[in-house]
């Protein structure tokens, strides 16, 4: 996720761009840049680092000009570097982009043959060259721009400068957010409203597959066929105080609600051949001639990422029939594990900086194991020393409690398992296509679960002052019981324990007494009857049951104090859907107690010390 901004009109562009980028910094902060038309010439300044570093450079240069565009980056394709920072440039065209161009790997060689060579490692740069190519073929910009947009697949929010039209900013949107602000003798464009709210409260929202241009006294919007679109203006009533969280009370809640987009972006570009094939080109060097050279797979991580790894074990062993050993990084690195070149080491880390996990990677390298990392931060320490990295594209996760990165990790593990299942021929094409179809539905199913529901406030009011809660589930959802307990502990400070339901009778059931809240995840799968028996065991001893069940289950609401439903999906995808209610339960319990949800006591977002 990145942030873009543009302005055209009366004020000095550099001040407006920097202020706007500061308000967009939460969307990404590994590099930044601006392009300003100074005396008819596009001047580009970009930096690997924060907005503050860019501002220092601009303060020295004192670029003059009232039209410009800016970008703050969260690297998705191409490591954080000055070369990969936006704006990107072709002869007359300068672009800032937020989104993922899924077919850029196809377009790059085609354009190279025509003499348009990408210099950076990014997907975004291809857009400049596509527009430039059509201009060089004699098209006017108002034809060249939409024609180029019709060639790309994927998501984009664009602001474009064309040096031969120094009074205009061209804009376009598809699946990434973009708003236009209307001022007096000046106009603005940005990824979100807070970035321009100090300049204007009058905005116009672009819809998908729309493009247009801004001049200081004119805004024109069109569809990709070039037909003009009339769009009503809106006036923003709320204040800047709620910015960056986009009106959410906490970053954590915002990130819970960003999960459909995080899943969509993590899937983007990885479902090839019309959603018939898993495309993970990063892994191909590890599986030469499409054979599996590994005897076993280790999955090692910490905290929530470890819980993702536990889910991954169920997926990989079922789909690929390769033995998988999951372990905590802090234990694995000291227990003399049997590691050699026949092992595949998969490490999972949102930050890519966790000290214990990094130490495992260094140990595995010495033992000649091959390393695949699953990370959310491009070019962080762990990816830099891995043979391959499968990035999650969840965008910056600001809340200390991991939510959208976790479900994005589960998406990557699903894709990885399907890739292995296909490679080892344990899955047939029909299985893979059916699994891809179910995966593609997850974003919309998540949106259904995210519809406002007072059940979470009811649960918070009733149980936030209990000394402890128990979570249990079976099979692939047992790790989600552990994750639910961890979420609650780390943000509400209420004690909680997660268990595999089958373990209850081996001790934990002694904890059950009148009114003890017990959260049970009970999907309609092969474990349903046994989990139902576990529910009866705790209920006869007085437990208060909070059940997470499959849409349409008529039995569970009759016995539970509260029931939260998730849509039906394939067995290996239910953890993605169950994750949302357990996150929301923890969030509302913590918010009810008034703890610091985004920065809980004693915790840090990235544990870079042992
Ligand atoms: C998750 O909610 C916690 N903040 C914590 O357990 C986290 O998952 C763990 O520290 C691992 O971090 P990483 O994914 O960045 O390696």
What residue's CA is closest to ligand 1, atom 7? Answer: 303
CATH of 454-593, one of 3.30.43.10, 3.40.50.10490, 3.40.50.850, 3.40.50.920: 3.40.50.10490
pLDDT of residue 240: 66
Model confidence at 607, pLDDT cuts 50, 70, 90, reads confident
Q: How far apart are CA 107 and CA 100, in angstroms?
A: 13
Question: Active site includes 128?
Answer: no
Helices (H) and strands (E) in the chain, counts: 19, 27
Ligand 1 atom nearest to CA at 400: 4
What residue's CA is closest to ligand 1, atom 13? Answer: 349
On the question of pLDDT at 324 being above 80, the answer is yes
Ligand 1 atom nearest to CA at 403: 2
Ligand 1 pocket test target in 607, 608, 609 with most atoms within 8 Å of CB: 607
On the question of pLDDT at 39 being above 60, the answer is yes
Provide the whole-model pTM: 0.78
On the question of pLDDT at 513 being above 80, the answer is yes
46-92 pLDDT per residue, tens: 999 889 999 999 999 988 999 999 999 988 888 889 999 999 999 99
What residue's CA is closest to ligand 1, atom 6? Answer: 303
Model confidence at 148, pLDDT cuts 50, 70, 90, reads very high
What residue's CA is closest to ligand 1, atom 16? Answer: 349
Ligand 1 pocket test target in 251, 302, 333, 488 with most atoms within 8 Å of CB: 302
Distance 305 CA to ligand 1 centre (A): 6
Distance 377 CA to ligand 1 centre (A): 13
Distance 302 CA to ligand 1 centre (A): 6
Model confidence at 303, pLDDT cuts 50, 70, 90, reads very high
468-506 pLDDT per residue, tens: 999 999 999 999 999 999 999 999 999 999 999 999 999
Ligand 1 pocket test target in 354, 583, 604 with most atoms within 8 Å of CB: 354
Own/partner contacts of 328-332, CB < 8 Å, gap of 24 or more, are 328/300, 328/301, 328/302, 328/356, 329/300, 329/301, 329/302, 329/354, 329/356, 329/357, 329/359, 329/360, 330/302, 330/356, 330/610, 332/298, 332/300, 332/360
pLDDT of residue 285: 93
Considering only CA atoms, which of 543, 532, 591 is closest in space to residue 250? 591
Distance 35 CA to ligand 1 centre (A): 37
Instruction: Output the six-digit token pair for 384.
Output: 């830099």
CB neighbour list of residue 186: distance below 8 Å, 6 or more residues apart: 7, 8, 9, 10, 11, 66, 199, 216
Select which of 2, 118, 302, 375 is catalytic.
Answer: 2
Q: What's the rounded mean pLDDT across residues 287-300? A: 95
User: Do 404 and 260 form a contact (C-beta atoms < 8 A)?
Assistant: no
What residue's CA is closest to ligand 1, atom 2? Answer: 401
Start-end ranges of CATH 3.60.20.10 in the chain? 3-237
pLDDT of residue 313: 98
* DSSP for residue 159: E
Select which of 143, 216, 234, 605 is catalytic.
Answer: 605
173-193 pLDDT per residue, tens: 998 889 999 999 999 999 988
**Peptide bond connecting 126 to the previous residue in cis, omega within 30 degrees of 0:** no
119-132 pLDDT per residue, tens: 999 999 999 999 99
On the question of pLDDT at 241 being above 70, the answer is no
What residue's CA is closest to ligand 1, atom 5? Answer: 303
The distance of Cα 474 from the centroid of its chain, to the nearest Å, equals 27
11-15, 395-399, 404-408, 431-435: least confidently modelled range: 395-399
Ligand 1 atom nearest to CA at 405: 14
Which fold is adopted by the domain 251-450?
Answer: Rossmann fold (3.40.50)
First CA to last CA across the chain, in angstroms?
30
3-state secondary structure labels for all residues of 174-233: EECCCEEEECCCCEEEECCHHHCCCCCCEEEECCCCEEEEEECCEEEEEECCCCEECCCC
pLDDT of residue 608: 65
How would you list the strands of the sheet with 187-190, edge to edge?
A: 41-48, 31-38, 67-73, 3-8, 187-190, 179-182, 202-205, 234-235
Ligand 1 atom nearest to CA at 603: 4
Model confidence at 610, pLDDT cuts 50, 70, 90, reads low
Q: Please report, rounded to a whole number, the percentage of residues in the chain having pLDDT higher than 70.
A: 99
Ligand 1 atom nearest to CA at 304: 8
Instruction: Give ligand 1 pocket residues (Cβ under 6 A).
Output: 302-305, 349-351, 354, 357, 400-402, 490, 606-607
Distance 401 CA to ligand 1 centre (A): 7
Outline where DSSP puts E strands in 74-128.
88-89, 93-98
Backbone dihedral angles phi then psi of residue 305, each to the nearest 5 degrees: -65, -30
What is the residue whose two structure tokens read 């006294």?
217
Question: Active site includes 302?
Answer: no
449-460 pLDDT per residue, tens: 999 899 999 999
Distance 598 CA to ligand 1 centre (A): 13
**In CATH, what number does 3-237 get?**
3.60.20.10
Q: Please report, rounded to a whole number, the percentage of residues in the chain having pLDDT higher than 90.
A: 85
Instruction: Output the six-digit token pair for 478.
Output: 């047992």
On the question of pLDDT at 243 being above 60, the answer is no
How distant, in Å, are the alpha carbons of 357, 373, 374, 516, 610 from that of 607? 10, 17, 17, 33, 7
pLDDT of residue 396: 84
Distance 325 CA to ligand 1 centre (A): 20
Ligand 1 atom nearest to CA at 402: 2
Distance 537 CA to ligand 1 centre (A): 33
Start-end ranges of CATH 3.40.50.10490 in the chain? 251-450, 454-593
């Amino acid at each position: 996720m990145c942030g873009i901004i543009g302005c055209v009109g009366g004020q000095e562009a550099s001040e407006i761009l920097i202020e706007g980028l500061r308000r967009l910094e939460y969307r990404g902060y590994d590099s930044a840049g601006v392009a300003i038309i100074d005396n008819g010439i596009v001047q580009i300044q970009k930096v690997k680092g924060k907005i503050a570093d860019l501002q220092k450079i601009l303060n020295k240069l004192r670029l003059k000009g009232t039209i410009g565009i800016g970008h703050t980056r969260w690297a998705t394709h191409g490591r954080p570097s000055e070369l990969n920072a936006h704006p990107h440039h072709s002869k007359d065209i300068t672009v800032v982009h937020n989104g993922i161009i899924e077919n850029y790997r196809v377009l790059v060689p085609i354009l190279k043959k025509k003499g348009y060579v990408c210099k950076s490692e990014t997907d975004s740069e291809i857009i400049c060259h596509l527009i430039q190519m059509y201009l060089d073929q004699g098209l006017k910009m108002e034809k060249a721009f939409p024609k180029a947009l019709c060639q790309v697949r994927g998501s984009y929010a664009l602001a474009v400068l064309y040096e031969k039209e120094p009074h205009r900013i061209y804009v376009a949107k598809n699946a990434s957010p973009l708003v236009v602000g209307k001022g007096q003798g000046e106009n603005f464009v940005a990824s979100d409203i807070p970035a321009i709210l100090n300049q204007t409260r009058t905005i116009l929202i672009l819809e998908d597959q729309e493009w247009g241009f801004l001049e200081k006294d004119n805004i024109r919007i069109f569809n990709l066929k070039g037909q003009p679109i009339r769009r009503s203006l809106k006036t923003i009533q709320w204040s800047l105080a709620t910015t960056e969280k986009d009106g959410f009370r906490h970053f954590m809640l915002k990130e819970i609600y960003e999960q459909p987009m995080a899943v969509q972006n993590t899937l983007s570009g990885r479902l090839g051949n019309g959603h018939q094939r898993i495309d993970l080109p990063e892994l191909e060097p590890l599986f030469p001639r499409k054979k599996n050279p590994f005897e076993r797979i280790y999955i090692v991580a910490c905290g929530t990422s470890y819980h993702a790894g536990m889910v991954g074990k169920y997926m990989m062993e079922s789909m690929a029939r390769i033995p998988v050993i999951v372990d905590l990084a802090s234990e694995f690195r000291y227990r003399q594990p049997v590691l050699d070149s026949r092992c595949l080491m998969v490490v999972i880390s949102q930050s890519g900086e966790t000290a214990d996990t990094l130490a495992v990677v260094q140990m595995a390298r010495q033992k000649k194991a091959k390393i695949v990392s699953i990370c959310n931060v491009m070019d962080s320490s762990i990816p830099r020393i891995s043979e391959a990295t499968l990035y999650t594209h969840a965008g910056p996760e600001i809340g200390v409690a991991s939510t959208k990165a976790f479900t994005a990790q589960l998406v990557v593990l699903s894709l990885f398992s399907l890739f292995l299942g296909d490679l080892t021929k344990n899955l047939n094409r029909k299985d893979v296509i059916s699994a891809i179809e179910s995966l593609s539905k997850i974003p919309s199913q998540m949106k259904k679960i995210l519809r406002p529901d007072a059940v979470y406030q009811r649960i918070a009011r009733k149980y936030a002052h209990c000394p402890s809660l128990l979570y249990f589930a079976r099979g692939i959802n047992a790790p989600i019981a552990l994750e639910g307990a961890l979420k609650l502990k780390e943000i509400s400070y209420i004690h909680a324990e997660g268990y595999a339901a089958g373990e209850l009778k081996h001790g934990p059931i002694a904890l059950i007494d009148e009114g003890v809240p017990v959260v049970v995840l009970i999907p309609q799968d092969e474990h349903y009857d046994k989990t139902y028996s576990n529910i009866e065991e705790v209920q006869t001893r007085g437990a208060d049951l909070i059940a997470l069940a499959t849409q349409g289950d008529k039995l569970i609401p009759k016995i539970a104090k509260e029931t939260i439903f998730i849509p039906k999906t394939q067995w290996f995808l239910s953890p993605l859907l169950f994750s949302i209610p357990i996150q929301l339960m923890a969030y509302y319990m913590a918010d009810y107690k008034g703890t610091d949800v985004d920065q809980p006591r004693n915790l840090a977002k990235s544990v870079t010390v042992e």
